[in-house]
Amino acid sequence: MQKLALLAAVAALPLAVPSALAQQPGEYNWNGSYIGVNLGQGENAEFDLDAELEVDGGTAFFPGALAGGTFPTTRTFDGDGLVGGVQAGHNWQSGMIVLGGELDVQLSDISSAIAIANAPGGAANNPDGFTDLNFEVDYFATARARAGVAFDRILVYATGGVAYGRVDFDRNYRVGGAEISDSASSNQTGWTYGAGMEWGMNEFWTLRGEYSRVDLGSESFDTSYSDGTIGRATIDTQFDVIRAGVNFRF
Q: What is the pLDDT of residues 186-232, one digit of tens each?
A: 899 999 999 999 999 999 999 999 999 999 999 888 888 877 778 88
Residue 21 lies inside a defined structural domain of this protein:
no
Residues 6+ apart with CB under 8 A from 183: 168, 169, 170, 171
Specify the pLDDT at position 51. 83
Residue 23 lies inside a defined structural domain of this protein:
no
Specify the pLDDT at position 20. 35
Residue 74 lies inside a defined structural domain of this protein:
yes
d(CA 203, CA 37): 18
Instruction: With a cut of 60, say whether residue 14 has pLDDT above it.
Output: no
End-to-end CA, the chain = 34
Q: Percent of the chain beyond pLDDT 70?
A: 85
Q: Answer yes or no: are the C-beta atoms of 62 and 53 closer than 8 Å.
A: no
Residue type at 47 in one-letter notation? F
Specify the pLDDT at position 9. 46
Q: Which domain holds residue 51?
A: 2-15+29-249
Residues 6+ apart with CB under 8 A from 95: none
Q: Answer yes or no: are the C-beta atoms of 249 and 34 closer than 8 Å.
A: yes
C-beta neighbour count of 69 within 10 angstroms = 14
With cut-offs at 50, 70 and 90, classify the pLDDT of residue 16: very low
Residue 37 lies inside a defined structural domain of this protein:
yes
Residue 22 lies inside a defined structural domain of this protein:
no
Residue 242 lies inside a defined structural domain of this protein:
yes
Specify the pLDDT at position 216. 96
Q: Percent of the chain beyond pLDDT 90?
A: 56
For the stretch 113-148, pLDDT in tens is 988 888 777 787 788 888 888 999 999 999 999 999
Residue 240 lies inside a defined structural domain of this protein:
yes
Q: Three-state SS string across 40-93, please?
A: EEEEEEEEEEEEEEEECCCCCCCCHHHCCEEEEEEEEEEEEEEEEEEEEEEEEE
Specify the pLDDT at position 65. 66
Instruction: With a cut of 70, say whether residue 179 has pLDDT above it.
Output: yes
More confident residue, 33 or 13: 33
SS3 145: strand
With cut-offs at 50, 70 and 90, classify the pLDDT of residue 64: low
Specify the pLDDT at position 59. 66
Averaged pLDDT score across all residues of the chain: 86
Nearest to 38 by CA among 216, 249, 155, 208: 208
d(CA 83, CA 64): 46
The least confident of 8-12, 119-123, 163-167 is: 8-12
Average pLDDT for 236-247: 97
Residues forming a β-bridge with 39: 84, 244
Specify the pLDDT at position 107. 97
Specify the pLDDT at position 126. 80
Residue 55 lies inside a defined structural domain of this protein:
yes
Specify the pLDDT at position 131. 85
Count of domains for the chain:
1
Q: How far is CA 164 from the centre of its chain?
A: 9
CATH of residue 50's domain is 2.40.160
Alpha carbon distances (Å) from 95 to 91, 156, 202: 13, 14, 19
Specify the pLDDT at position 178. 77
> Torsion angle of alpha carbons 139, 145, 150, 152, nearest 10°?
60
Average pLDDT for 70-76: 82
With cut-offs at 50, 70 and 90, classify the pLDDT of residue 90: very high
